[in-house]
Amino acid sequence: MMGADLLHTLLLAGAFLLLFGSAELLYHRFKIQADITRKYVHILTGIFTMMFPPLISNHWYVLALCSSFLVILLLSMQFNILPSINGIKRPSLGSLFYPVIVYGCFLAFQFREGNLIYYYIPILTLAFCDPIAELCGKAIGYGKYTIGTHTKTLAGSAAFLVSSFLLSMALFLSMTSQELMHLLPLCGVLALSTTIAEALAQKGYDNLTIPATGTLILFLFGV
């Protein structure tokens, strides 16, 4: 098992390095804006991390993997490299929070005796609902509001709310035997709470607050 964990960890590390490399290629060779390449990495990182539970059984390997990429990201910010991730105008620590919260969700999943809901809902909500909210907010631009120094839109928040609810419902229905009437309030609270967490967060803190809020709600409901 240890040998398989090590092999899978190395393969996943290689996949992430290829992802970073492809983002740099898109940025430098094809002149894709950093806002887009950053979202590209954000979404595919979420997809790649979905493979952690089935491929890695020991959380120490996940810690090593997440820590190594945290170091890479810290160095990239210090020495102004990886502009495909860091080359955005607004200040953001979101990329640094990503490996931290992935490891935290993996611990929650193992603590709850391998209940994959504790891993997939927080991570996929972050990976998909956050970009959906941003895209809809920019495309529609309805209902602008300002919290702190950040301006967001009601259209974006509504898109996050709806997509979070549908995502949670789909995962619960496909992965558990819970009844629909029980899932409606649970998914509603999950969607509303994570939407508020996304709306209030600034400087990339939503990469931390969205999954953390989702995990907390799951614990409170005793899923």
The CA–CA distances, whole Å, from 9 to 61, 96, 172 equal: 7, 20, 28
Q: Is the pTM of this model over 0.75?
A: yes
Check residue 174 and give its pLDDT. Answer: 94
Where are the chain's structural domains? 2-220
CB 137 within 8 A of CB 146: no
Q: Is the pLDDT of residue 1 over 80?
A: no
Check residue 163 and give its pLDDT. Answer: 98
Average pLDDT of the residues of the chain: 93
Q: Of residues 211 and 3, which shows the higher confidence score? A: 211
What is d(CA 88, CA 109) in angstroms, rounded to the nearest whole number? Answer: 33
Burial class, 107, CB count within 10 angstroms (exposed 0-12 / middle 13-18 / buried 19+) = middle
Report which secondary-structure segment, H or E, holds 190: helix 180-200
- What amino acid occupies position 216? L
Query: Of 142, 130, 140, 148, nearest to 202 (Cα)?
Result: 148
CB 12 within 8 A of CB 48: yes
Check residue 178 and give its pLDDT. Answer: 85
Percent of the chain clearing pLDDT 70 (strictly above): 99
- Please give the average per-residue pLDDT across 46-60, as a whole number: 96
What is d(CA 52, CA 115) in angstroms, rounded to the nearest whole number? Answer: 13
Which residues are within 8 A (CB) of 186 and not within 5 positions of it... i.e. 6 or more apart?
A: 168, 172, 217, 221, 223
pLDDT (tens digit per residue) in 168-218: 999 999 999 888 888 999 999 999 999 999 999 988 899 999 999 999 999
